[in-house]
Amino acid sequence: MRIALVHPYPWPEVRRGAERYVEDLTVHLAASGHQVTVITATRGRPGRTTRPDGAAVWQVRHLPPGPLHRLGVGEVETFGLGALVALLRRQVDVVHALTPTAALAGRLAGRPTVYSVLGHPSPEQLPVAAVPRRLFVAAARSATVTAALSQASQQALAATTGRVGLVLPPGVRLERFPPAADPRCGPPRLLFSASLHDRRKRLDLVLGAVDRLLDRHPQLRLALSGQGDAAAALAGCPPRVRAVVDPLGPGDPDEVPGRYRQATVTVLPADHEAFGLVLVESLASGTPVVCGPGGGMAEIVTPAVGRVAAASTAGAVAEAVDQAIALAGQLSTSARCVQRAADWDWDGVVGPAHRRLYAALAAGRPAPAGEGTW
């Protein structure tokens, strides 16, 4: 099949879950023998290149929103114009879009289009500005298939747009995250792997939890793995919390798996998280996890591999982390974490679900009922 993956930002120039999703999906599809074109954007000189795995990359130019900026229109919204031009010039069987205007471009180009809603589309998370909000609703309703990353996001999508979407999550390339099999003993080392300045990731709850946990675990340390100014993120923290924080920066992508293996517990108490790829990557590395109660993360975490905080409070996160530290010291925990992560293996589970969906759309058949639902 000829498949176009359409998203405005390329990996690894931008390193978030969405860009990781596109990268891993490209790798899987190219290895499966499909003709893949990644349509993305650049602020530099646009052009076309071919990756070592054979996938084509078509970079269009980011268009400045100009006066439309006051209406909430930015690069993500204007990207659809360049994507439409590229799709009209490229013969593809299926478009998989990851932003609203990319999905609208796929439909305007006359191609069967999957639109993956990347965020958790609850009412409070929809764009505030009218134009982006209308574009989102139009994309969700007009795509051939609209997909959510979790069951929680599927339910929010139906409530906000009236469109019942499929559940089609991203996955993990297990070979990139070789696990550490030994129990996590010794002084606890927590890992927070996300943007330090995205308030939705709730680093503030992690820091508050550390302040409480130091009374029980005086040798505890917290590693911050992500983009952002650590000093600014730690402003206002008690001195004893700042003293146990290790800012690692985003690091090279090849460094990230080792950070998971070295951790006792990975903590991500984010609000409104649609999926939580960080959690799956940590589990693949054999490291248990703690998440917050909102969004789709709780669908990943079972009592065998981590804890879901009872509330989005520092006290609840501290209690969940304390329990996860004890879990990490058990002999069988690492193996259980790896087994759980395998439910999102690209080659064995998630990738085939994507390919079955694309094949149905390319053949003009209805999307398989419940495709990708866990």
User: Given the DSSP bridges, would you call strands 56-61 and 47-50 parallel, antiparallel or unpaired?
Assistant: antiparallel
On whether both 250 and 303 belong to a single domain, the answer is yes
35 shares a domain with 136: yes
Q: For residue 121, which of 312, 295, 371 has the smallest C-alpha distance?
A: 295
Rounded to two decimals, what is the model's pTM? 0.93
Q: Is 51 in the same domain as 184?
A: no
Residue 189 and residue 141 share a domain:
no
pLDDT at 55 over 60: yes
Domain count for the chain, please give it.
2
The SS3 of residue 89 is helix
pLDDT at res. 125: 81
Q: What's the CATH code of the domain at 268?
A: 3.40.50.2000
d(CA 35, CA 55): 7
Nearest to 259 by CA among 210, 209, 194: 194
164 and 207 assigned to the same domain: no
For residue range 273-318, list pLDDT tens digits in order.
999 999 999 999 999 999 999 899 999 999 999 999 999 999 999 9
% of the chain beyond a pLDDT of 70: 98
Q: Is 369 within the bounds of a domain?
A: no
pLDDT band with cut points at 50, 70 and 90 for residue 374: very low
Task: Look at residue 53 and tell me if it is in a domain.
Answer: yes
Cis amide bond preceding 366, omega within 30: no
Q: What is the largest CA-CA distance in the chain?
A: 62
d(CA 124, CA 92): 36
The residue range of the domain holding 226 is: 174-343
Residues 290, 269 contacting (CB under 8 angstroms): yes
Q: Residue 139: which residues within 8 A CB-CB, separation 6 or more?
A: 97, 99, 100, 101, 103, 104, 115, 146
Candidate ranges 71-75, 117-121, 204-208; pick with highest mean pLDDT? 204-208
Task: Mark 248-261 as b/e (b = at least 16 C-beta within 10 Å).
Answer: bebeeeeebbebbb
Give the whole-angstrom CA distance, residue 85 versus residue 76: 16
In a domain, 41, yes or no: yes
Q: How far apart are CA 93 and CA 274, in angstroms?
A: 28
pLDDT of the residue at 370: 56
- Which tens digit of pLDDT belongs to each residue from 171-223? 999 999 999 999 999 999 999 999 999 999 999 999 999 999 999 999 999 99
Residue 33 phi/psi, 5° resolution? 90, 10
Average confidence (pLDDT) over 47-59: 96
The mean pLDDT value for 40-46 works out to 92
Number of Cα atoms under 13 Å in the Cβ half of residue 292:
25
Domain identity same for 163 and 296: no
Together in a domain, 334 and 350: no
Q: Are residues 148 and 257 in the same domain?
A: no
Q: Are residues 95 and 236 in the same domain?
A: no
Q: Which tokens hold the place of 168?
A: 């089609």
CA dist., res. 44 & res. 120, Å (int): 31
Averaged pLDDT, 341-359: 96
Asked if 233 contacts 226 with a C-beta cutoff of 8 angstroms, the reply is: no
DSSP H helices in the chain: 17-31, 75-89, 100-108, 130-142, 151-161, 203-213, 230-233, 239-242, 256-262, 277-284, 314-328, 333-341, 351-362
Task: Kindly state whether residue 186 falls inside one of the protein's structural domains.
Answer: yes
